[in-house]
C-alpha cells in the first residue's frame, strides 16, 4: 500500500528473498506493460485469500503502464475465487464490495456462491445495468436502487431463520436500502466457494457468464447479517476512503 493506504503506482515492492535490483515501486516495475493480480490477500488474518491459477483469467492492476482504480475485470473470463466456504450454523452472511462498472448495460456478477450448475442454488449479487439485484437461491430481490458507472458501495446480506417466511434479505447501495422477507431457506449444502467478478463459479461448472466489467476495489465478507448500525459504520468508513457520496 502507498502512503494513503491504497494500492497505486507509488506502492513499494518488497522481494521475498535473494538479490534483486529491479525498481522498487509498482509503476517503475511495470513500465508500459501489464501487471496482473495473482492473489488478493485477506487482511483479516484468517488467510481467506482470493486467487486464480490461470494467467489469462486474472484481473489487471496495471494496464499499459497506467494503474487502474482497483483490479480491472474484463467481463470475458476474469475472476478471483476464495477456497473458503461460508458455512455458519445459521448460514447468515453479509458481502460488501466497493466497485465501479465500465458498462451500464451488461448483466454483471459482483459475487457468486454456487453449489451446482444452475443459477438458483446459491447467492448472486448482480449489476443489471439499470438496477442492482440480489439472488438468494431462486428468490430475486429486484431493487429499485439504480446502478451507475461511478464508484459504489454494495452491501448484500441474508438472515436465515429456517425458511419459515421470516428470512430477511437486504441490499444496500451507497447507504440506500431495499429489504424483503422471504421464505427461501439457504443451506450451507447449497453453497460453494465465494467468487468475485463473474456470475457463476467457474471452478464448479466451467461456465462463465455475466462477467464483471470494470473495477472491484475492496471486498469484505461476514458470516452474519450486519445490523443497520454496523452497516452504516462500515459504509461511512469506506465512503470516506474512496470519496463516495452516500444516500
Distance of CA 132 to the CA centre of its chain: 14
Helix, strand, coil distribution of the chain in percent, nearest 5: 10, 35, 55
The single-letter DSSP state of residue 227 is: P
pLDDT at 175: 96
Closest CA to 146 of 185, 118, 184, 104: 104
pLDDT value of residue 34: 84
Query: 143 near 171, Cβ under 8 Å?
Result: yes
- C-alpha R_g of the chain: 18
pTM: 0.89
Q: What is the pLDDT of residue 20?
A: 66
Give the list of residues 6+ apart from residue 139 with CB closer than 8 angstroms, or none.
169, 182, 184
Per-residue model confidence (pLDDT) at position 2:
83
Cβ contacts of 5 within 8 Å, gap of 6 or more: 241
Which pLDDT score is estimated for 117?
56
Mean pLDDT for each 10-residue chunk of the chain (247 residues)? 80 75 75 87 90 92 78 89 74 92 88 69 87 89 92 94 82 96 80 83 66 92 92 96 93
> Residue 172: what pLDDT?
97
Amino acid at each position: 500500500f502507498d502512503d494513503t493506504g491504497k494500492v497505486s503506482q507509488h506502492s513499494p515492492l518488497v522481494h521475498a528473498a535473494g538479490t534483486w535490483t529491479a525498481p522498487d515501486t509498482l509503476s517503475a516495475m511495470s513500465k508500459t506493460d501489464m501487471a496482473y493480480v495473482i492473489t488478493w490477500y485477506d487482511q483479516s488474518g484468517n488467510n481467506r485469500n482470493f486467487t486464480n491459477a490461470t494467467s489469462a483469467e486474472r484481473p489487471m492492476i496495471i494496464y499499459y503502464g497506467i494503474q487502474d482504480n482497483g483490479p480491472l475485470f474484463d467481463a470475458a473470463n476474469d475472476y478471483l475465487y476464495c477456497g473458503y466456504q461460508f458455512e455458519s450454523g445459521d448460514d447468515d452472511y453479509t458481502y460488501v464490495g466497493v466497485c465501479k462498472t465500465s458498462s451500464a448495460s451488461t448483466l454483471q456478477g459482483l459475487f457468486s456462491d454456487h453449489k451446482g450448475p444452475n443459477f438458483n442454488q446459491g447467492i448472486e449479487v448482480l449489476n443489471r445495468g439499470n438496477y442492482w439485484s440480489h439472488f438468494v437461491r431462486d428468490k430475486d430481490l429486484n431493487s429499485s436502487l439504480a446502478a451507475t458507472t461511478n464508484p459504489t458501495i454494495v452491501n448484500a446480506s441474508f438472515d436465515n431463520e429456517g425458511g419459515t417466511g421470516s428470512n430477511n434479505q437486504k441490499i444496500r447501495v451507497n447507504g440506500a436500502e431495499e429489504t424483503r422477507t422471504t421464505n427461501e431457506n439457504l443451506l450451507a449444502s447449497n453453497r460453494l466457494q465465494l467468487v468475485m467478478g463473474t456470475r457463476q463459479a467457474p471452478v464448479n461448472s466451467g461456465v462463465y457468464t455475466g462477467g464483471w466489467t470494470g473495477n472491484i476495489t475492496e471486498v469484505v465478507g461476514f458470516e452474519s447479517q450486519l445490523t443497520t448500525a454496523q452497516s452504516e459504520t462500515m459504509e461511512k468508513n469506506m465512503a470516506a476512503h474512496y470519496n463516495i457520496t452516500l444516500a
